[in-house]
Amino acid sequence: MDTERNLSQEIVQAISSVVGAGPLALHEPRFRGNEWIYLKECLDSTFVSSVGKFVDRFENDLAAFTGAKRAVAVVNGTAALHVSLLLAGVEAGDEVLLPALTFIATANAVAYCQATPHFVDSEERSLGMDAHALRDYLAATTEMRDDHCINRSTGRVIRAMVPMHTFGHPVDIEALLALAHDFHLQLIEDAAESLGSTVGGQHTGTFGLMGTLSFNGNKTITTGGGGAILTNDVELGRRAKHLTTTAKLPHRWNFVHNEVGYNYRLPNLNAALGCAQLEQLPGFLIEKRRLFDAYQVSFADLPGVSLVAEPAGCRSNYWLQTLLLDESLADQRDAVLTATNDAGLMTRPVWALMNRLSVYSNAPKAPLPVAESLERRLINIPSSSGLLPVAP
């Protein structure tokens, strides 16, 4: 008990030495730019719903920032994933490969397509999908039939894979792209947490067929609620826009919808907020990197505790700063969570693995030794931009 209490207090002191005393949220938005100006313009114009100049501007600004040929703004990141999976050809009865270590929205989007999530392991280096373990697993458990990857145990087509850039740290995307090619899988990136992260200078979410973003209130920038689809396929982008705006054909007054569409439109008010936030994103990224550097110094001499850093060759947005306990200290995780939250420093564990949730407990899964270990050992600590004093 004394050991647990000492470790917990050491972590409280290490966090407090960087960000000060609580109460501090895990991650909260900052509104210090043109938010009020753009929102007032929306109100004055009366264009507050799904039509307005800020929707178009936000999409164009996102495309310019990420380097994608097309960005389509939608109501949230889950909707972005849902439509991306549909456009990738995921059908009822298919399977889709997902990391077991992810937020439930990734799995839910697959279920919306009446498909089945198939959970796979993660690597400790990036916290994301392990391409090498997955290649060995697919080689042992699947077969190619009529250019489709077939799960020999279920007889179902494995149609796609959705790697997630965990806490903003890019996955080994090049290895996953090669795997997707070899096994005839569509690759959709869940980049919900990684706006501002790059691999070799290329933005996450622009490597696969499509990528998806989230602008929930706890993300690096926020539109209150909101998300986006990124793609370098212009025609696919046009289809995404059509499907997410109720599949309505353009006309001055008639209401003609040529297929089942979705009312996933982002309101102009939210887009206005997003435009103002996106203007400040470069500064937010600088501040979050400064926070990582400060935490890294503070935790450098704390045995058994390390700070998750960006993988080699990548640049992370450091959306959430994350501690990784040594396996020998995993049983003290909850004591650390209790002590930090009691001190007013909001900390959180990683999500429960998807296969542990009752709704997905019967889904197929690969061996998950690394994901199971990470689940026991990860702790997110206060990560908001602006926690440090302004740099001189």
Amino acid at 361: S
Amino acid at 270: N
Question: 276 vs 19, 58, 61, 304, CA distance in Å?
Answer: 26, 9, 11, 41
- Count CB-CB contacts under 10 A for residue 202: 13
Mean pLDDT, each 10-residue run in order, the chain (392 residues): 71 97 96 97 94 96 98 98 98 98 98 98 98 98 97 98 98 98 98 98 98 97 97 98 97 95 97 98 98 98 97 98 97 97 98 98 98 98 93 66
Tally the C-alpha atoms within 13 A of residue 23's C-alpha that lie toward its C-beta: 3
Nearest one of 377, 335, 328, 292 to 11, comparing CA atoms: 335
Structure tokens at 341: 């939250």
Structure tokens at 35: 């938010």
Decide: helix, strand or coil at residue 60.
helix
The CA distance from 384 to 219, in Å, is 9
The predicted pLDDT at position 340 comes to 98
Q: What is the pTM of this model?
A: 0.96
Structure tokens at 349: 């564990």
The CA distance from 234 to 240, in Å, is 10
Nearest one of 17, 2, 3, 58 to 34, comparing CA atoms: 58
Computed from CA positions of residues 71, 263, 78, 133, in that sequence, does the dihedral angle turn out positive or negative?
Answer: negative
Question: 328 vs 2, 324, 368, 378, CA distance in Å?
Answer: 16, 11, 19, 13
Contact between residue 90 and residue 159 where contact means Cβ atoms under 8 Å apart: yes
The predicted pLDDT at position 390 comes to 77
Amino acid at 56: D
Provide the pairing of β-strand 305-307 with 210-214: unpaired
The predicted pLDDT at position 1 comes to 44
Count Cβ atoms within 10 A of the Cβ of residue 225 and give its class: 0-12 exposed, 13-18 middle, 19 or more buried.
middle
The CA distance from 82 to 275, in Å, is 24
Burial letters 287-309, b for 16+ CB under 10 A, else e: bbbbbbebbeebbeeeeebbbbe
Cα dihedral angle (333, 339, 340, 346), rounded to 10 degrees?
90
Structure tokens at 309: 């850093």
Contact between residue 344 and residue 24 where contact means Cβ atoms under 8 Å apart: yes
- Domains and their CATH numbers in the chain: 2-29+280-381 (3.90.1150.10), 35-278 (3.40.640.10)
The CA distance from 308 to 167, in Å, is 10
Q: What is the chain's percent helix, strand, coil content, to nearest 5? A: 40, 20, 40
Where would I find the H helices in the chain?
2-19, 35-45, 53-66, 77-87, 104-112, 131-141, 173-182, 234-244, 268-299, 333-342, 369-377
Contact between residue 156 and residue 93 where contact means Cβ atoms under 8 Å apart: yes
Decide: helix, strand or coil at residue 115.
coil
The predicted pLDDT at position 4 comes to 46
User: What DSSP designation does 177 have?
Assistant: H
Structure tokens at 55: 């929707």
